[in-house]
Chains A and B, each alone.
Chain A
Amino acid sequence: MRRSSILIISFFLFLACNHNTYKQGKVLYESNCAQCHMPDGSGVGDLYPALSQLGPDYNYSLISCYIINGKKSENSILEMVAIKGLSDIEINNIINYVRSEMNDLEGEVSIADTRKQIPECVQ
């Protein structure tokens, strides 16, 4: 009985690990970003910019700065609030969720890249 439950649990763990398409990034995106940028990243006009059309040339590491500091551009009337309390790994997972799932790009932004970017975000 005990052995079989261990087997079942490890099977599901295997499934979960094997299916890692930035699941944490998705959950964090949905709770922190989707309200304004929309669940599919399509945004709302130019008010809430689309994240699904950033394309291959965009510097995705910059997203960590927007998460940490928020964003207020000069000609915008709305201010993006900073998202507090996320770890560098969580931020990295959000970035890669946006990059791979929404923009359909191969590869990823490494945690090393994100850790290098974050100190440079300080305003």
Chain B
Amino acid sequence: MKSNIYTIIIVCVITIITSCKQDEKVGPLPYYGEKTVVNGDSIHYQIPEFKFFDQDSNAVTSKDMDKYIYVTDFFFTTCPSICPVVKKQMLRIYDKYKDNPKFKLVSHTLDPKRDTAEKLKKYAEKLNVSTDKWIFLTGDKDSLIDMSANYFISAYEDEDAPGGIDHSGLVVLVDTNRNVRASAQGTDPDDITELLSDIDRLLKEYETQ
């Protein structure tokens, strides 16, 4: 009798655990940030509008991005610490979605003084990536640092940090509505593997619309 009760409890616990896990992996991705209520509608957090310049010195605005979902990071070309490994992981994302017209990658420099458009263009060439698919943005330094916070990525100037800028290697997934939908540590290949399936899930949301 007693063992029967234990069996039932165990089955219940397993059911709860597995059902929760499944819920996490199907359906729409969650939304990052706090909701605000505007005219009675609750609105998800949106990245503010932006205007930066790409590797060909062309202006790129948030409006240009609203046809695409994109993965974004912050770096600088001479960054000696985490940037190479983050770029290696970004390359994995690039390789998987380079032929998907709905998808882009966006890398922001945090060192616009050294990372001119010309330098970013060369950097992309050396990475062997197409800048139609993977955009490199530069602009006003303070705006870039502020923008990183809008993506929940922390970056700040720090004399003691390698290269003079301390920043996280977080990689963030944004949808066509400027909502942040997923993130991953760019230094962690397993985390990026999960992000790849998050990107698949987000792309599916657009297929069913």
Contact = CB atoms under 8 A, between A and B. Distances in A.
A45 interface: yes
A46 B127 contact: yes
Q: Which residue among A45, A46, A76, A78 has the maximum number of chain B CB atoms within 10 Å of its CB?
A: A45
Contacts of B127: 44-47
B123 interface: yes
A46 B126 CA distance: 5
Given A44-B91, A45-B91, A76 B80 contact: no
Interface of A is mostly: loop
B189 to A, nearest CB: 10
A77 B128 CA distance: 14
Interface size class of A (residues with CB under 8 A): 10 to 19
B193 interface: no
Interface in A25-59: 35-36, 38, 42, 44-48
Contact of B126 (A42, A76, A81): A76
A50 B91 CA distance: 14
Tell me the dominant secondary structure on chain B's binding face: helix
B88 interface: yes
Interface string B66-107: 000000000001101100110110010000000000000000
Interface of A: 35-36, 38, 42, 44-48, 76-78, 81
15 contacts: A35-B84, A38-B84, A42-B88, A44-B91, A45-B87, A45-B126, A45-B128, A45-B129, A46-B128, A47-B87, A47-B123, A76-B126, A77-B126, A78-B78, A78-B126
Given A38-B85, A77-B122, 8 more contacts: A35-B81, A35-B85, A44-B84, A45-B91, A45-B126, A47-B84, A78-B77, A78-B78
